[in-house]
Structure 1
Amino acid sequence: MSRRSNLKNAVVAFLVPLPSILFYLYFLSHFQSNCAPLWSWCFHHPLLLANVFFFFNVNVLFWLIGFIQSSNWMIDLYWMVIPVLLLHYYATHPLAQFDPWRSMIVTVLTWVWSIRLAHSYFRREEWQWGAREDWRFADMRLQYGKHWWWISFFSVYVSQQILLIGICLPLYVVHSVDKPLNIWDFVAAGVCLCGIVIGYLADTQLHNFVIRNTKLKELGKPMVPNLDRGLWRYSRHPNYFGEQLWWWGMTVFSWNLGHGWTCVGCLINSMCLAYVTFLVEQRMLKQEYRAEAYRLYQKTTSVWVPWFKSSAIAVKDKVT
């Protein structure tokens, strides 16, 4: 990827959320002195307004940029940014009411999660902006051909609105209920921290494995077919497990505030990730050099939740 393209994509990524941010800042400075129906609607319906921002600024604008660039790379990047934007939107909305300590804990955790995910994303992409789009979108582009331009609007963007707004509902609840901090908030924070740490360790171990295999390939040596060390010894997808822990931890915050219904968003996300897990494993099995090793890995290793190897692998270890 050329330096010029990299810089262009970086500038686009920084500028693209400005329509929503500028409109919201204008709303905050004018809603009290203006009785227009638009400002009244924005004032009384913060959750609906968040969906409007998402629809026009992400679904429509991101889709147009993706259509022009023939790549839907930006939605992956903004998966780690949109929750932070929503967090501060919910916290600063005129109708917000919340315990300041809980808000501070959730804010710090969300920023740490976002920075951790951004680091893993750019490390994987070799610190480039928009070098490639998600392989699932690339596969669908080939599958749908000439119809992809309009199908992508729904499959890439509208679906992301349902997922992201849904799993971020706890951020809304935290800033709409003023209840004193209690022990469950610390439990939720602990679960979130565990998710962040597990996700970071798993992604780092995977990154090191990929780098090592790349060097072996360059030297003309056989690549290691499968990563089964560290956290990956006890789970086939510990990075996914860490991510789920993070979101379920956030759900505990809202459950503690009397809004357990928000688990629906996290549940839908978990179901989608289960399908992604299936696609990833099918992709692994299509690679001849690793197919046999990965089938054994599937038989002996837990899918998400870290657990001990089965007896079959224990016997194999003793033999070797």
Structure 2
Amino acid sequence: MSRTGSLKNAVVAFLVPLPSILFHLYFLSHFQSSTNPLSPLWSWCFHHPLLLANVFFFFNVNVLFWLIGLIQSSNWMIDLYWTVIPVLLLHYYATHPLAQFDPWRSKIVIVLTWVWSIRLTHSYFRRENWRCGAREDWRFADLRLQYGKHWWWISFFSVYVSQQIFLIGICLPLYVVHSVDKPLNIWDFVAVGICLCGIAIACFADTQLHNFVTRNTKLKELGKPMVPNLDRGLWRYSRHPNYFGEQLWWWGLVVFAWNLGHGWTFVGPLINSMCLAYVTLLVEQRMLKQEYRAEAYRLYQKTTSVWVPWFRSSAIAVKDKDT
């Protein structure tokens, strides 16, 4: 992709959330300046913040992103906005007129979410060689080939409507944090620790993976054999430490909500974890289709934990000793 194309995509990505942002700002301005009873529209927006968030998502993400994806023949934008939508939802919940919360807990969660978002956004652009919209997720590309001429309408549900379920669901703790005013206690600091561990693990794992991929790319360019498998660092103890770190982050947010009496919000991260389990299966199947790494990866599967970091089995220890 050319720099011009990347710049155009960056401009589109910057402008695309503005309808929801401007509507919410207009609502806040109207609510604060109005001395008369609210009209039915504004009254609905006031009394149903969670439903309004879903309306924003449906029209601004599902419909608008989908139309842009049809025009560009690429659904790249939803991948980028996974790092942005939680931040937008967080500030929407925090600024809604019905919001009530402990200011310290709110500040902690806002800082944590921004750190998570910046980390993941950096990882995204580093992976994409600092280009915007250069490619869509390989899973969407595979589905595009699988469904052919029907992909244009199937993509609306499989790429966008499904993302609404996942993203609104896993962000429910952010809503709870700004719906309950309760002083900080020890469980908030437990949640902070879990969230920070998740961010740190995902950061180190992604960096190690990026370095591995970069090294293999250089070896390929030089015509040298590529290293078949990454099994060093965090990847020595887990086949998907980046996934583990990401899930730890979301479950850490659930502890915040559980502490506020809303443990039911575990449903969102649970659905997301179940989906990620399926993605893990797809990723591993893809690895096994690559001849140069298939044998090494089968051994890796037999001896290394899937998600949760753990010591490698004795088979690896024997192999290392023999070599």
- Could you say whether these structures have the same fold, taking a TM-score greater than 0.5 normalized by the shorter chain as the test? yes
Q: Find the partner of 2:191 among 185, 188, 191.
A: 188
Kindly state the Cα deviation for residue 165 of structure 1 after the two structures are TM-superposed. Answer: 0.1
- The whole-number CA distance in structure 1 between the counterparts of 2:311 and 2:160 is 38
Kindly state the Cα deviation for residue 33 of structure 1 after the two structures are TM-superposed. Answer: 5.1
Kindly state the Cα deviation for residue 4 of structure 1 after the two structures are TM-superposed. Answer: 1.2
- The whole-number CA distance in structure 2 between the counterparts of 1:101 and 1:247 is 20
Q: Secondary structure at the match of 1:245?
A: helix
Q: Secondary structure at the match of 1:72?
A: coil
Kindly state the Cα deviation for residue 36 of structure 1 after the two structures are TM-superposed. Answer: 9.4
CA contact (8 A) 1:31 1:40 kept: no
- The whole-number CA distance in structure 2 between the counterparts of 1:44 and 1:32 is 15
Kindly state the Cα deviation for residue 3 of structure 1 after the two structures are TM-superposed. Answer: 1.4
- 1:87 aligns to 2:90 (yes or no): yes
Counterparts in 2 of 1:35 and 1:44: CA distance versus 1, 3 Å: farther
- The whole-number CA distance in structure 2 between the counterparts of 1:90 and 1:216 is 48
TM-score after normalising by structure 2: 0.98
- 1:246 aligns to 2:249 (yes or no): yes
- The whole-number CA distance in structure 1 between the counterparts of 2:121 and 2:218 is 25
CA contact (8 A) 1:109 1:192 kept: yes
The aligned residue for residue 265 of structure 1 is 268
- How big is each residue's C-alpha offset from its partner over 1:116-140, in whole Å with a ceiling of 9 and x where there is no partner? 0000000000000000000000000
- The whole-number CA distance in structure 2 between the counterparts of 1:161 and 1:31 is 27
Q: Secondary structure at the match of 2:99?
A: coil
Structure 2 gap segments, 5+ residues each: none
- The whole-number CA distance in structure 2 between the counterparts of 1:160 and 1:63 is 12
Counting matched residue pairs gives 320
Counterparts in 2 of 1:259 and 1:312: CA distance versus 1, 3 Å: same
Structure 1 gap segments, 5+ residues each: none
- 1:31 aligns to 2:31 (yes or no): yes
The farther-off stretch of 25-34 and 269-278 is 25-34
CA contact (8 A) 1:194 1:246 kept: yes
Q: Secondary structure at the match of 2:130?
A: coil
- The whole-number CA distance in structure 2 between the counterparts of 1:134 and 1:184 is 37
- The whole-number CA distance in structure 2 between the counterparts of 1:266 and 1:226 is 29
Kindly state the Cα deviation for residue 169 of structure 1 after the two structures are TM-superposed. Answer: 0.1
Counterparts in 2 of 1:36 and 1:2: CA distance versus 1, 3 Å: farther
Q: Find the partner of 2:219 among 205, 216, 232.
A: 216
- 1:318 aligns to 2:321 (yes or no): yes
Kindly state the Cα deviation for residue 150 of structure 1 after the two structures are TM-superposed. Answer: 0.3
- How big is each residue's C-alpha offset from its partner over 1:285-314, in whole Å with a ceiling of 9 and x where there is no partner? 000000000000000000000000001101
Kindly state the Cα deviation for residue 205 of structure 1 after the two structures are TM-superposed. Answer: 0.2
- How big is each residue's C-alpha offset from its partner over 1:148-189, in whole Å with a ceiling of 9 and x where there is no partner? 000000000000000000000000000000000000000000
- The whole-number CA distance in structure 1 between the counterparts of 2:36 and 2:93 is 22
- The whole-number CA distance in structure 2 between the counterparts of 1:32 and 1:231 is 51
Structure 1's consecutive aligned runs of 4 or more residues displaced over 4 angstroms after TM superposition are 32-37
Kindly state the Cα deviation for residue 31 of structure 1 after the two structures are TM-superposed. Answer: 2.4
- How big is each residue's C-alpha offset from its partner over 1:189-240, in whole Å with a ceiling of 9 and x where there is no partner? 0000000000000000000000000011011100000000000000000000
CA contact (8 A) 1:199 1:242 kept: yes
CA contact (8 A) 1:241 1:305 kept: yes
Q: Secondary structure at the match of 2:32?
A: coil
CA contact (8 A) 1:234 1:301 kept: yes
CA contact (8 A) 1:199 1:239 kept: yes
- The whole-number CA distance in structure 1 between the counterparts of 2:225 and 2:243 is 28
Q: Find the partner of 1:145 among 123, 145, 148.
A: 148
- The percentage of aligned residue pairs carrying the same residue is 90
The aligned residue for residue 58 of structure 1 is 61
